[in-house]
């Protein structure tokens, strides 16, 4: 059983995930993945190689755990948390811990052995986004859970162990520290300005223009004012909305388009780099907040964080966001 343990000094939870110790490539030096096309468990026709599916968008008449799907969601074979069991909060002397209850799922974005999300069409990317939406709504019904993080690791250096394009979600029984810090900061800003900080960012960036990569009627993609790393990119909805899963239908269409465009620009500009993206949204059942605003953060893995970053939480970024925005704007796609 995995375990959640709380750091007594700064209150950060970590997951001690014993299941994952079985992963064969654990602790080996990362290397580029050799092509896995002939053995890939995410390809259509090899459905029996994954745990039974949780959900799939399928052609009419096709059967569960068989070909005929377009997007397929399965439990992670080496989960960091486990679904079964009760939340048991305990002390261990001065320390706090709880059972590692949660969900760890893989969203297989296409039945074809593609390595990049941008090999999908925009409507196909939109279906992946709907899968995120549907999974969040379902996981929200579980009273033990407080937060769901949807993320993508692309490339071995960004933590992907399979090349077939996929994203993941981890649903947690606690709100992660990074998210509570973001919410606390937004609440603070709201308390003296009476405006949402993200709504203000959208307005200011549209005015200034220098950090905007691309926009459409519902979204803006920017290089943030104080990025941690080169080419860090945020996609922010223009309309105020705290929760990703409560977006309008048309917004998902526009999100699919801008996400595809931004990732394509990053691939072309930076020679298909490893990257991570994360969706930041509100904790479960806190949906009407006037001060929080969901968004996506994309982090290309171009620099290594080392002693200084670990020790201080400061980041040294050699690329001004105004330059990277300019660079990405110029990249021709289509």
Pairing mode of beta strands 275-280, 147-154: antiparallel
* 166, 280, 293, 295: the active-site residue: 166
Residue of 70, 154, 293, 295 interacting with Zn ion (CB under 5 A): 293
Q: Does 42 bind Zn ion (CB under 5 A)?
A: yes
Stretch binding Zn ion (CB under 5 A), from 148-156, 192-200, 243-251, 281-289: 192-200
Q: Which CB atom, from 106 or from 145, has the smaller least distance to Zn ion?
A: 106
Residue of 56, 131, 174, 199 interacting with Zn ion (CB under 5 A): 199
Residues 201, 213: Cα–Cα separation, whole Å: 14
Q: How many other β-carbons are positioned within 10 Å of the β-carbon of residue 18? A: 11
Site string for Zn ion, 130-169 (x = CB under 5 A): ----------------------------------x-----
Q: Which CB atom, from 38 or from 60, has the smaller least distance to Zn ion?
A: 38
Residues 292, 325: Cα–Cα separation, whole Å: 25
Active site residue 166: yes
Residue of 73, 196, 247, 262 interacting with Zn ion (CB under 5 A): 196
Site for Zn ion, residues 53 to 112, rule: CB under 5 A:
none
Stretch binding Zn ion (CB under 5 A), from 36-44, 50-58, 65-73, 100-108: 36-44
Given the rule CB under 5 A, which residues bind Zn ion?
40, 42-43, 113, 164, 196, 198-199, 240, 293
By annotation, the residues acting in catalysis are 166
């Amino acid at each position: 059983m995995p375990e959640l343990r709380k750091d007594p000094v700064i209150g950060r939870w970590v997951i001690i995930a014993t299941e994952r110790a079985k992963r064969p490539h654990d602790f080996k030096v990362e290397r580029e993945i050799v092509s896995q096309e002939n053995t890939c468990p995410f390809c259509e026709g090899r459905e029996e190689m994954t745990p039974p599916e949780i959900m799939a968008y399928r052609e009419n008449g096709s059967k569960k755990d068989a070909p005929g799907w377009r997007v397929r969601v399965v439990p992670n074979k080496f989960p960091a948390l486990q679904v079964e069991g009760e939340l048991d909060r305990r002390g261990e002397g001065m320390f706090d811990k709880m059972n590692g209850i949660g969900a760890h799922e893989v969203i297989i974005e296409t039945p074809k052995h593609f390595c990049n999300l941008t090999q999908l069409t925009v409507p196909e990317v939109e279906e992946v986004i709907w899968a995120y939406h549907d999974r969040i709504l379902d996981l929200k019904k579980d009273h033990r859970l407080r937060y769901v993080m949807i993320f993508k690791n692309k490339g071995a250096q960004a933590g992907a162990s399979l090349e077939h394009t996929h994203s993941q979600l981890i649903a947690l029984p606690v709100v992660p520290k990074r998210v509570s810090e973001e919410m606390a900061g937004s609440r603070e800003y709201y308390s003296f300005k009476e405006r949402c900080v993200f709504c203000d960012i959208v307005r200011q960036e549209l005015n200034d223009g220098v950090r905007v990569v691309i926009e459409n009627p519902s979204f803006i993609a920017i290089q943030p004012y104080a990025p941690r790393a080169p080419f860090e990119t945020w996609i922010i909805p223009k309309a105020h909305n705290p929760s990703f899963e409560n977006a309008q239908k048309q917004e998902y269409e526009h999100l699919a388009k801008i996400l595809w465009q931004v990732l394509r620009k990053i691939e072309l500009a930076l020679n298909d780099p490893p990257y991570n993206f994360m969706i930041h949204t509100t904790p479960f059942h806190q949906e009407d907040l006037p001060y929080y605003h969901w968004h996506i953060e994309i982090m290309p893995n171009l620099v290594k964080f080392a002693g200084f970053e670990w020790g201080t939480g400061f980041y040294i970024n050699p690329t001004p966001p105004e330059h990277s925005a300019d660079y990405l704007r110029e990249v021709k796609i289509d």
